[in-house]
């Protein structure tokens, strides 16, 4: 338990550091940092018709057109099989929360997207943080947390984590390849989405953990659970 708390605390601090660092970079005057410009240029020069078509499909894994029906389908299937609303609450809340958070953050930062000359398709709105990256990270991390409660075996659990990371990274890369965002936009969006999914999971499962903890406590002779308040 202590080790888990240490890992959780370290992960939280790392995510916070990444988010703060990306925000500071986004507030830097100009069209992005040298790293932003170098990454964007590398993807722009590497475009081909086939790659562009493939990345245009990949980027939909972070779009509402895919995520809303996916959250509804998985959430309702979870309800049918498990007889609770955790799946729908988690996946729906992950998407909606991420959409709300990046919608609030964008006008506060006010960072412009890369120029139209490098964008594969016309994009509207502000850049920081990336909405697709935030939504994809929140949804797929939430789905992974849900899956980890039912999959059996170390190999299966590792596979869930690897596949989740792969999808999140691919969506982030797609935004760079398509010229829709700077590198720091997608880093911040990914961090924001993952942090929100983790916080939502912790909140939704808190009551269940408290019930299990109370049930595990020894009872006093009068039948009351030791350590609980009257």
Average pLDDT of the chain? 80
Nearest residue to 22 via CA among 99, 133, 120, 166: 133
Both tokens of residue 37?
């410009």
* pLDDT tens string 152-190: 888 888 999 999 999 999 999 999 988 888 888 898 899
Exposure letters 30-61 (e unless 16+ CB within 10 A, then b): eebeeebeebbeebbeeeeeeeeeebeebbeb
- Pick from 21-35, 120-134, 158-172, 187-201: least confident: 21-35
CA neighbours closer than 13 Å in the CB half-sphere of residue 127: 27
* Predicted local confidence at residue 44, as pLDDT: 81
Q: Are 135 and 25 in contact (CB under 8 A)?
A: no
Class of domain 13-203: mainly alpha
Locate tokens 């020069």: which residue? 45
């Amino acid at each position: 338990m202590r080790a888990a708390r240490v890992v959780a605390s370290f992960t939280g601090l790392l995510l916070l550091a990444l988010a703060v660092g990306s925000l500071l970079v986004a507030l830097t005057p100009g069209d992005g940092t040298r790293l932003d410009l170098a990454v964007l240029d590398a993807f722009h020069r590497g475009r081909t018709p086939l790659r562009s078509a493939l990345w245009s499909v990949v980027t939909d894994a972070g779009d509402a057109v895919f995520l809303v029906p996916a959250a509804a389908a998985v959430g309702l299937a979870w309800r049918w099989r498990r007889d609770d609303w955790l799946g729908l609450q988690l996946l729906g809340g992950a998407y909606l929360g991420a959409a709300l958070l990046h919608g609030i953050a964008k006008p506060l930062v006010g960072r412009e997207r890369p120029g139209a000359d490098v964008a594969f398709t016309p994009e509207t709105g502000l850049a920081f943080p990336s909405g697709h990256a935030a939504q994809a990270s929140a949804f797929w991390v939430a789905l992974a947390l849900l899956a980890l409660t039912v999959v059996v075996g170390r190999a299966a659990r590792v596979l869930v984590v690897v596949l989740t990371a792969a999808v999140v990274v691919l969506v982030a890369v797609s935004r760079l390849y398509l010229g829709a965002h700077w590198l720091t936009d997608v880093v911040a969006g990914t961090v924001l989405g993952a942090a929100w999914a983790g916080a939502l999971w912790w909140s939704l499962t808190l009551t269940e953990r408290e019930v299990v903890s109370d049930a595990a406590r020894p009872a006093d002779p009068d039948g009351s659970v030791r350590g609980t308040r009257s």
